[in-house]
Amino acid sequence: MTDLKYRFSWDLLGDIALGRPNLGPTARLEVYRLMQFTLRDVLEKQFGTEKADELFREAGYLAGKEFYAHMLGGVTEFGDFIKKLQEVLKEMQIGVLRIETADLAAGKIVLTISEDLDCSGLPEINSEICVYDEGFIAALLESFSGQKFEVKEVDCWCTGDRTCRFTATTLRE
Ligand SMILES: [Zn+2]
């Protein structure tokens, strides 16, 4: 791949304690959503809906890989992994994770995220919107298990549900 000016690394998140001694590490959620949905608008206009979704999913996947490496890890049992993930997602105010079913032998997990950072409270548009989360969750599960997962959002605030529900299925060779 060609050289990138801003290849992602965790360092790009910066030294927030140094840089924001007065304002601190949090910002209003509207600002995060403003960034996300204006970027999505531009990407969709330039590349179409399908490609924009693909780009968001890929960015979510990259985020999930980095997030796992820096925030999770060090756990070997699935139950411990989920517990740690729930704690971190809540502490960072990303969302409230619940596991509905987990059949690890069959490689199928159904999970929900309530009060989701990306979509909770959005207008209903009859279409699931959390493609970034799909990539993010796929990368977390893959990082933990070493297996590739396909993650699909099946219910979303934007489809009239009050939680986002995702199915995760292992991709078998
Ligand atoms: Zn959603």
Predicted confidence (pLDDT) at residue 20 exceeds the cutoff of 80: yes
pLDDT in tens, 26-75: 999 999 999 999 999 999 999 999 999 999 999 999 999 999 999 997 89
Q: Give 59 Cα–ligand 1 centroid separation in angstroms.
A: 16
Question: Are the CB atoms for 123 and 146 separated by under 8 Å?
Answer: no
Question: Are the CB atoms for 133 and 67 separated by under 8 Å?
Answer: no
Average pLDDT over residues 93-98: 96
Q: Give 127 Cα–ligand 1 centroid separation in angstroms.
A: 9
Q: Give 19 Cα–ligand 1 centroid separation in angstroms.
A: 32
Taking a 5 Å cut-off on Cβ, the residues next to ion ligand 1 are 119, 130, 156, 164
148's CB contacts (< 8 A; 6+ apart) are: 138, 142, 170, 171
Torsion of CA 11, 16, 19, 21, to 10 degrees: -170
Which pair of structure tokens corresponds to residue 87? 């704690």
